[in-house]
Amino acid sequence: MTNENRATSSDAPATSSDAPATPGVLLAGGLARRMGGGDKPMRQIGGRTILARVIARLEPQCDGLILNANGDPARFAGFGLPVIPDTVENFPGPLAGILAALDWAAANRPGVEFILSAAADCPFLPRDLVARLHRARAEENAQLAVAASDGQSHPVIGLWSVALREQLRHALVVEDIRKIDRWTARYPLATVEWPVEQLDPFFNANTMDDIAAAERLAALDGG
């Protein structure tokens, strides 16, 4: 493990939680066409890669992290995380990454009931993400939970039940469902809203202008 994915003191979790053990998967399968290709999470903000910032935010909250990415996994070797590719062909989007993580959890963490997914290009994820999602899921007796901010849902950031992995596989392979919202609509879903007074914790870097904006936001967020 390198210094890239060690949390700094400013990255310490704001709260402790009695949430169940929850591995996290960082979804890095996007093609970054609006940035000219390449891996968006490897872009730097304030001297640190976006991926390093995501790891620092989630590592204290999750019971281990894995990275979903296709292609040569060696490009992520410096982060010390297991790298798992999609288990469905033709890059069908983030649902494929979630399914790959559910398959990984079933094979490697048989006692785990839920995984957390997060986009690997969201450098300001909330430090209470796992705790609040689990609390809402339990309170609403939901099977799934997703994050929201400023009135907008962020379905790629959420809790996923390992028990639903075969249903998800059927939806992807047989029904060709690609949109997360179409699949989650089939199940009881909790949506948890985060405030955006200082910054949107689910800001993601899609363009070079976003990278410049993230530099400014990182200063507000303590670097």
- 78 assigned ligand-binding residue: no
Integer CA distances (angstroms), 200 to 46, 53, 125, 149, 215, in order: 18, 15, 9, 7, 14
- 179 assigned ligand-binding residue: no
* Of residues 181, 180, 176, 124, the one with CA closest to residue 149: 124
- 39 assigned ligand-binding residue: no
- 29 assigned ligand-binding residue: yes
Rounded distance, CA 96 to CA 202, Å?
21
- 118 assigned ligand-binding residue: no
Q: Are 221 and 124 in contact (CB under 8 A)?
A: yes
Range list of H helices, the chain: 50-58, 94-108, 129-139, 165-173, 180-184, 208-220
Sign of the dihedral defined by the CA atoms of residues 213, 219, 222, 223, in that order: positive
Cβ of 89: how many Cβ atoms within 10 Å? 8
**Spacing of C-alpha 96 from chain mean position:** 13
Q: Are 44 and 76 in contact (CB under 8 A)?
A: no
Cβ of 102: how many Cβ atoms within 10 Å? 25
Q: Are 194 and 149 in contact (CB under 8 A)?
A: yes
Binding-site residues for Mg(2+), please?
Answer: 121
Binding-site residues for GTP, please?
Answer: 27-29, 40, 68, 86, 121
